[in-house]
Structures are given as structure tokens and as C-alpha cells.
Structure 1
């Protein structure tokens, strides 16, 4: 057997092996279909702790993604305004995607906000204390003209909180090696305030009380499994 033929046979064998391996590890089981359906509108209470939904909108919940992108990427979205007994307001936006493969994964606010004309002054990782444990979050300081909007958000993939590219890719690989396609969501709270430290404190209080009020059977799908 001449050298050229041997090289061709080896190359062909490698290509076949690669194709077989890709087929074996290609995830096919959608976790969204294996678990109870998640309905944002009913899973998120309209009243909890000191907070209640405000139907007379005084501040618009801005979604920094175009409607077309929302429909393509996300299975469900939810936007609400809440007010507490002190008159402090929170804007809540949740987007849920049943398929978190690389082409359909969640879009992060620090990318989407500037794309829609917002100024992004800072984006920092932090933690938020809930009664269920420590939740990893990101805090943004954004503005659009006179509108100053501090933002707290996190994303989940199945029952894991993921923040940024490395976390996301690692979670995708972890589930993919088990043949699973995870679902995921982005949970964002924000408020109109020139006092960012106070706004972040109010947002933390809102999230803590909401986490307590979430149905136990779906809580980890919203806040992951806290540390």
C-alpha cells in the first residue's frame, strides 16, 4: 500500500470517527419537555411581601431587544411594574427560552442596552442575598437621555445561574455531554433613579421577597440553586 493511499484511508477513518462522535454527543433531550411547563404569567405572583403589581404605568419597562429578536429567541416574555408601600417602583422583565443551544442562547443586557442607544456606565459582578442562599448577579448603570436606570440581572440555564460566556459555554457542554438541551431565562429588575446604590438596595429587597413567594416547584428555574 503506497503512502498516499494510507494517508487517504487514515483521513477517511478520522472523518468517520468524528462524524460518529458528533452524532453520539449531539444533545437531543429537551429539558423543557421533560419538566413541568413553565408559565411566567402565573408563576410570578402579582403581590408578595411589600410589593404589588402597579397597573397604572408610570414608568415604561423598556426591553432593549427588537420585537423580532424576542420572538425568535424566547419562548415567553413577561414585563411588569411593581410598587411597594413606600412608593418605590421596580420594573421587572423576564425572558424564557426553551432551547439554549448556541444559536438561540440568551442575550445579555450589557450588549443589548448599548445596541438600543443606552449609555452603559458600568457593569459589575456581585452577589445578592436571598433566604435560599447567595445569588450571583450583574449590576449595570445605564442611561438614555435623562432616564437613569440601574439594572440588576442574572441568567439561568436549567437550574444553574450563568453569568457571561464562560459560564454559559461550560453549562452547555455539561448538559450536552448528557445528551440534554437546557432551557434558560434572563431575570432583570431595574428602576428609574439617580441614586444607584439605593436603587440596587431596593432591587435586592424586591428579589429577596419575590424569591420567597415563588412556587417551590419552580423556584430553582428562576434563581438557580443558590450557593
Structure 2
């Protein structure tokens, strides 16, 4: 009988247990403000020029429940655009947690395909390794390429389940439950290869992430 329930059942059960622990046992995390206002994030990233921040509709914000966020489109000289979204929580408790793109975007008509975990590396000493979920979104004849990850107090996580686990552990050890979701999107052609577009996307991520991590997010735990 248990074998027939499948992995989704066990994942759901684990999340339920984590939620109970968060509300009943784990101390509330310290409110950790950003080092800088996200609206001051650079609007020039290499050849990419950012347009003004686009505020979300209040109804969307009621669902997201973020403390701070950035929603900006960047354009290159050829007219290609990349959307950057950063949603930040100063502390997370039940009802005020990061929403997975896999739950939100399908509700808007977009379906995830070709999902895989990837690692991008910014050279340095030490280097910065960015773990992200890479996927192609499809809605009718439209396609978009997306990369996203959970920023968990210095960690780059691709799994919402591990994000919850570290949330509990860091709350217990460091009294920290701050976190963020970073998501980038760009349109894809209906047909043909898109290696150049993907290369541009990866280069864009490598450009903005070090600044976001070092100058805007609170210091890492540990």
C-alpha cells in the first residue's frame, strides 16, 4: 500500500511536518533587512540596460507577501529582453514563505518542461557557484527560458524542500529565517536553436549575482 502512494505523498508529508515544527517549536527568526534597497540595484549590467521597476498589482502582492522585491526588465542593443525578479523575505514563518515558481507560473498558463539543475561559476578566490533550476516554459505557441533559485542565507538552493529543511535548521541554530527567490526569464523563438539566447542568459546571471549577494543580501550564516 505504501509503495503505491509514491514520492509525492512522502514529500507532502515532510512539508507538513516541517510546517508544524516551524509553528510549534522553532523560534521566530530575527528580522534581517537588506543591506541596500533593491530599487537601487544597478540598471546597467554590461550591455543590458534596465527599465524602471514595475510594481506588481496589490492582489499579486497579497499572494507573494514579500517584504522587498525588484521586478525589472533589461534590454540589450538588439532588443532582446530579460526579466529579473528578486523577492526577499526578512523572516519567514507559516503563511509568509517563498512561493515556488512551479506553483505560481502554471496558474498563469505556463507549463515547465526540460527541467534540470545547473551550476554556473563566477571566477574568483573563492569562486561563486550558482546552483539554479533551468527550464523552458511553454504557453500555447510561446516559449520562455527561465533560471531560478532559492537564496537561503548564503546558499544557492534548487529544491524548495531543501530550502524548507535549511529554514528550520538555521532558525534553530542562528535564529535566521530570511531568504529570497531569484528568477530570470527571456523569450525564445518558436522554432530553431537558442544556444545564443541561453548563453546571453547565463552571462547576465553571472554579471548581476555577485553584486546582489555581496551588496544587498545580509551576510551568510556560519
Does TM, scored on the shorter chain, surpass 0.5? yes
Q: Which residue of 1 aligns with 2:4?
A: none
- CA shift for structure 1 position 170: 2.4
Give RMSD over aligned pairs: 3.4
Contact 1:25 1:176 in 2 (8 A): no
Offset from partner CA, 1:28-70 (integer Å, 9 cap, x none): 341515xx5442111x201122221146x9xx9999x934202
Contact 2:45 2:204 in 1 (8 A): no
- Pairing 1:1-227 to 2, within 5 Å after superposition: 26-32=26-32, 37-42=35-40, 44-54=41-51, 66-70=60-64, 73-131=65-123, 132-178=127-173, 180-194=175-189, 195-214=193-212, 216-218=214-216
> What runs of 5+ residues in structure 1 fail to find an aligned partner?
1-21
Contact 1:82 1:91 in 2 (8 A): yes
How many residue pairs end up in the alignment?
A: 194
Contact 1:127 1:135 in 2 (8 A): yes
- CA shift for structure 1 position 138: 0.3
TM-score by length of 2: 0.73
Contact 1:31 1:180 in 2 (8 A): no
Contact 1:48 1:213 in 2 (8 A): no
Larger Rg: 1
Q: Cα–Cα, structure 1 residues 188 and 215, in superposed 2: closer, same or farther, change >3 Å?
A: closer
